[in-house]
Structure 1
């Protein structure tokens, strides 16, 4: 049954918010999901990044409206705010690491930012099956993080922070090995900052010029950066972000199209419907009907 709004959790099934700025949590997949028939229903975390490390077994993963089936060793990055759900095969072995956004704020001011920020900015799947040497480096870090979580001892928070950074850096290496990178560091920084600004202001329908002004550059230059980094213009990125949130609301809530349009900053529901049909290929109502099928 759809909810009035998409469920938000601190950790899955725990409604209390986690406000500790140094918060991180690690648990094995079995401990959270085995009593739930190995199924985690679609939900999202407003201020938590999650990293799933699968060692063995099978998982059907739902990120927004997309589904994918994974077998064996994988890493899955789930950005804060993204709707996600899972169905694991029994006895799947893996870990889930939940990281509060403030824990990474210091890292964002360090040299590590160039590696960590891009990795956590969007969902991704990192195949580790054919890279057992990478997995053999990664898994001991996971186990050490578990150990730090289990015992109170001197420097525990600092050690955990270092381990989390090491895990993220290893995952970044593996992910970037198969992904084209923006060669110019300034352009790469602007591209990342643009994505963050869009995430903060897409409901306000900022113009391309407003994004450029916020980054201290020209609209034409920022558009060139956007197209090199994402193969899309600034406006395309804004429309993509609006469409993602519109689809989330249509799939996971019972709010009307009119309510959704106002929530996304559209002053005219009719214009929102035209925007949605132009970008998604179907009307919001039709999309909701087509999406009204059992999720994982």
Structure 2
């Protein structure tokens, strides 16, 4: 009835690939003409680091507590093992770059702090004159061209381009953090740090007071920030993240309700069921069944539409 969260060793959709430790792949994000929104369902790559350079159009990132509307231009950094998905508008324009995690470790071994800093999901959109989006995209195109060349010392050149690209991404991240920290309105900075911490933590691993302590603020202050930025309390945001994780397990895996409750660290399946019903209005079993019916109905509608197009006028 339900789908697994796809785990790819290669690119999206290729579940049989076994890539080498020197694997690199560069491609356009939308190589064909499209008239409707399209995307990549939530999935992960066990040994690949991905970068999405979104130049124009609309896109939604499905990898955090709530879907994030992306403002282009931006660069999305997705480390290996990070569940993520995208919805793209027909007008989206950009490129993606995929590289073996082992190769990055080798290239950046002289500066391991860069990879440590960039080993979380980030959306970079506040560019500078020195680290402009155009320059980052140009570096990606240089990598693409070098990959397909037959010039001598190609790997050395690729290593150099990757080092420069990641140094610039590292500097951009630090610039973004400094700007947020130095802003007269620190609420957004605190909220983003809270969101990242919630996304990284296991459900029920931390209390609201723990999140507040990480930010060196009080729980009352954290709640005020969440209300100001999102119109929700800190606990509501944490619970929404738990519901979203439960949704992924219910819709994309065949795990039993008891297994999902255990994975999400609920005391028992009964507590999980009550919690889920309180926040969605449905029991986990009913929610999974409804998701299956909706997907089946959508498939039938698509098939009927295709048949109608094939009928003579």
User: What is the deviation of 1:285?
Assistant: 4.3
1:212 equivalent in structure 2: none
Task: Name the counterpart of 2:30.
Answer: 30
> Structure 1, unaligned stretches of length 5 or more?
183-194, 208-222, 233-238
What pairs up with 1:109-188 in 2 under 5 angstroms? 109-111=109-111, 113-121=112-120, 123-128=121-126, 134-179=132-177
| Contact kept in structure 1, 2:28 and 2:94, CA below 8 Å | yes
Deviation at 1:150, TM superposition (A): 1.9
8 Å contact from structure 2 (residues 74, 124) kept in 1: yes
Assess if the C-alpha contact under 8 Å between 2:35 and 2:90 holds in 1: no
The CA deviation at 1:22 is 0.7
Q: Which residue of 1 aligns with 2:83?
A: 83
The alpha-carbon distance between structure 1 residues 124 and 265, as it changes in their structure 2 partners (threshold 3 A), is: closer
Q: Does 1:67 align with 2:54?
A: no
Q: Which residue of 2 aligns with 1:102?
A: 102
> Closer, same or farther in 2 for the Cα pair 1:103/1:38, shift >3 Å?
farther
Aligned length: 248
What CA distance in whole angstroms lies between the structure 2 residues aligned with 1:25 and 1:266? 38
Gaps of 5+ in 2: 182-196, 220-237, 296-313
User: If you compute each CA radius of gyration, which structure gives the higher value, 1 or 2?
Assistant: 2
The residue that corresponds to 1:227 in the other structure is: 214
Q: CA deviation at 1:95?
A: 0.7
Q: Specify the SS of the correspondent of 1:66.
A: coil
Cα deviation 1:71-130 (Å, max 9, x = unaligned): 43101112222222222222422110112111122245322x212221122x12111567
Cα 1:179–1:289, aligned 2, differ >3 Å: closer, same or farther?
farther
Q: How far off its partner does 1:51 sit?
A: 0.7
> Match of 1:90, SS?
coil
